[in-house]
Amino acid sequence: MSETTEKKKVILSAIQPSGTITLGNYLGALRNWVKLQDEYNCIFAVADLHAITVRQEPKTFRQNILNAYALLLACGIDTDKSPVFIQSHVPTHAELAWILNCYTQFGELSRMTQFKDKSQKHSDNVNAGLFTYPVLMAADILLYQADMVPVGADQKQHLEIARKIAERFNGIYGTTFKIPEPYIAKVGARVMSLQDPTKKMSKSDENVNSWVAVLDKPDVIMKKFKRAVTDSEAVVRVGEGKDGINNLIGIMSAVTGKTAEEIETEFEGKGYGDFKTAVGEAVIETVKPIQNRFNDLLNNKDYLVEKYRSGAEFALKISSRTLDKAMKKIGFIAR
Ligand code: ATP
Ligand code: LTN
């Protein structure tokens, strides 16, 4: 992205490299990001600093960061249009996060539901980073003067606090940060767990059969769909108390572009076995080209290094302006 095209609205989003990227992440987030690239000035990041709020095994973590980066490109993010960087490569994020920590109240952070959930889940490691996680996310967003942030329901509260922090800072020092708006996708797919379809599909779910990873092998994908929880009615149609089938119809619709009604008609008189196989096949077809591009990218490390270095260079340049502005207003001496 060149600076002369900066008239378009700025969209910023990031994904944590905290495990494999699921079909939920793809259909609910990544795929929408790809579509935003022409209309907006998009900036995307791999939020690796956020990921260490829970313990990571170094070797796996390193691989997950690179995989997440490559997967963003494999899904269709074009770095000529949208810079993609790795958060820890751009020091302004940690710097502004510290500063914003001093403009965020303990009480506000205590009310974050993700903190409450995660501190229960990882009760042996309720670290300060887990607590101040939303402040780092605020820094990610505010550094780029983002107009909009595509967020799922789970991240809405974090965007709210980012807005609050920005408003507070602007209130004290005059306009420094743009107040970001949530970007709600027109067709946002919410993918549910294949084992408990009342819960969202989540990569941190211990039951590996509950999620499908974009990088899962075709036979694994098929096996997971065949094991998907359904109901005893054996009719492929959307209905109350049919969370499993509703979810499978939703997935089928998201990957084929067909409406739920079209899918119901197509599978009239057919059993769940046939339907699950068809959903599995459609998902395999969707991820196949992504997997191929992903493998090509991982075989071309030099290309990835070049891309994440230039992404970080761009990000540092843009974000430094905001950081310098904020520091000057507070009264720090210019470096
Ligand atoms: P975790 O299990 O660690 O909470 P996650 O799989 O829920 O991870 P996040 O890293 O929190 O994923 O989310 C990345 C993006 O993917 C967010 O924009 C989020 O809204 C979206 N997303 C995650 N899970 C789903 C899902 N099941 N359906 C649709 N979108 C999803
Ligand atoms: N917390 C987010 C990832 C994230 C993010 C951001 C999203 C980190 N920084 C900035 C939007 C904007 C998550 O877990 N999905």
Distance between CA atoms of 162 and 158, rounded to whole angstroms?
6
CA 267 – ligand 2 centroid, Å: 38
Same domain as 238, residue 163: no
Report the nearest-CA residue for atom 25 of ligand 1.
Answer: 24
Residues 52 and 149 in one domain: yes
The reply to whether ligand 2 has any atom less than 6 angstroms from the CB of 49 is no
Q: What is the number of domains present in the chain?
A: 2
Q: Which residue has the tokens 């991982």?
A: 298
> Sorting pLDDT into bands at 50, 70 and 90, what band is 6?
low
Q: What is the CATH number of the domain that holds 269?
A: 1.10.240.10
For residue range 23-82, what is the model confidence (pLDDT) as tens digits?
999 999 999 999 999 999 999 999 999 999 999 999 999 999 999 999 999 999 999 999
pLDDT digits (tens, 9 = 90+) for 197-246: 999 998 888 899 999 999 999 999 999 999 999 999 999 999 999 999 99
- C-alpha span between 16 and 158 (Å, rounded): 14
**Which residue's alpha carbon is at the smallest distance from atom 10 of ligand 1?**
16
Alpha helices in 75-127 (DSSP H): 92-101, 106-110, 113-121
Chain CA centroid to CA 298, Å = 21
- Ligand 2, atom nearest to 158 Cα: 1
220 and 144: one domain? no
Residue 24 CB less than 6 A away from ligand 1: yes
CB-ligand 1 contact for 250 (6 Å cutoff): no
Are 16 and 143 members of one domain?
yes
120 and 140 together in one domain: yes
Tell me the average pLDDT across 120-144.
96
- State if residue 149 touches ligand 2 by the CB under 6 angstroms criterion: yes
pLDDT of residue 1: 52
Structural contact between residues 47 and 17, judged by C-beta atoms closer than 8 angstroms: yes
**Are 110 and 229 within one domain?**
no
Distance CA 35, CA 195 (A): 30
pLDDT for 186 equals 66
Total-model pTM: 0.93
Same domain, 324 and 284: no
CB 315 within 8 A of CB 141: no
Residue 5 in domain: no
Active site residues: 118, 200, 203
Provide the pLDDT for residue 2.
52
Rounded to an integer, what distance in angstroms lies between the CA atom of residue 319 and that of residue 163? 17
CA distance 18 to 141: 20
Hey, what are 144's tokens?
């780029």
Same domain, 147 and 223: no
| One domain for residues 323 and 213 | no
Domain that holds residue 280: 208-294
Looking at residue 203, what is its pLDDT?
84
